């Protein structure tokens, strides 16, 4: 092997460590599990823990989960996984994190049909005020037989550095550019 080939392989390995490996570590292995609940019923109104009735005016949802959160438990990662894979009736869900009438986070998550598993994951969410928050999972399309989903929450998830990710993924792509250049020379 020539010195150039060794340097190209080294760049690729460093890129794998700084790019995809670092990204997977942040989302899969960092943080501590805060809660995991199995949601299997779907309705347009729910009785909450304090005996109040929560009505969803725009449609239906899984049972809302109330959880006390503080800024110490910052960088929440919320994952919604379909229990009986695949979960065909669900195409999109709206995930909301609210406190009282204030919505702290709301995102529409689309299912990725190319992957063998079906799950929705948010990026790390920051908590500013210590309050009791409600997490609401609403399917975008009303389904009669909605699949059972597992709602898991992790706290203190490491937020990946954009600079490290860009360098890592760049180092992964750089060897391919050198490879293309070597084919053009011949």
- pLDDT mean values, one per 10 residues, the chain (186 residues): 80 86 86 87 82 78 87 81 63 81 80 52 77 86 72 85 88 81 64
Whether residues 108 and 97 share a domain: the answer is yes
Whether residues 26 and 46 share a domain: the answer is no
Q: Where are the alpha helices (DSSP H) in the chain?
A: 3-16, 22-24, 162-185
| pLDDT at site 170 | 87
Length of the chain in residues, anyone?
A: 186
Whether residues 151 and 75 share a domain: the answer is yes
* Helix-helix angle 162-185:3-16, to 10 degrees: 150
Whether residues 178 and 150 share a domain: the answer is no
> Are the C-beta atoms of 137 and 93 separated by less than 8 Å?
yes
| pLDDT at site 90 | 63
> Are the C-beta atoms of 24 and 148 separated by less than 8 Å?
no
Whether residues 135 and 163 share a domain: the answer is no
Give me the number of domains the chain comprises. 2
| pLDDT at site 184 | 67
Whether residues 89 and 149 share a domain: the answer is yes
Q: Rounded to two decimals, what is the model's pTM?
A: 0.71
Whether residues 184 and 96 share a domain: the answer is no
Whether residues 67 and 49 share a domain: the answer is yes
CATH (domain of 40) = 2.60.120
Whether residues 41 and 131 share a domain: the answer is yes
Count of beta carbons in the 10 Å neighbourhood of residue 16: 15
| pLDDT at site 26 | 84
| pLDDT at site 116 | 44
Domain limits at 109? 33-157
Whether residues 92 and 153 share a domain: the answer is yes
Q: With CA atoms as reference, report the closest residue to 67 among 44, 113, 23, 33.
A: 33
Whether residues 151 and 165 share a domain: the answer is no
| pLDDT at site 113 | 47
């Amino acid at each position: 092997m020539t010195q150039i080939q060794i340097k190209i392989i080294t760049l690729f390995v460093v890129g794998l460590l700084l790019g995809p490996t670092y990204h997977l570590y942040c989302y899969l292995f960092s943080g501590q599990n805060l809660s995991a609940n199995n949601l299997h019923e779907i309705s347009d109104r729910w009785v909450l823990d304090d005996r109040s009735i929560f009505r969803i005016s725009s449609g239906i949802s899984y049972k809302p989960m109330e959880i006390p959160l503080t800024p110490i438990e910052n960088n929440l990662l919320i994952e919604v996984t379909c229990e009986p894979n695949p979960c065909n009736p669900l195409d999109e869900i709206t995930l909301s994190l609210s406190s009282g009438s204030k919505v702290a986070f709301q995102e529409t998550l689309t299912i990725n049909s190319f992957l063998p598993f079906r799950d929705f994951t948010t990026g790390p969410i920051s908590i500013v005020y210590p309050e009791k928050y409600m997490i609401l999972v609403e399917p975008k399309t009303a389904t009669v037989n909605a699949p059972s989903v597992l709602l898991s929450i992790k706290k203190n998830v490491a937020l990946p550095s954009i600079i490290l990710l860009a360098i890592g993924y760049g180092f992964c792509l750089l060897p391919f550019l050198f490879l293309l250049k070597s084919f053009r020379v011949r």
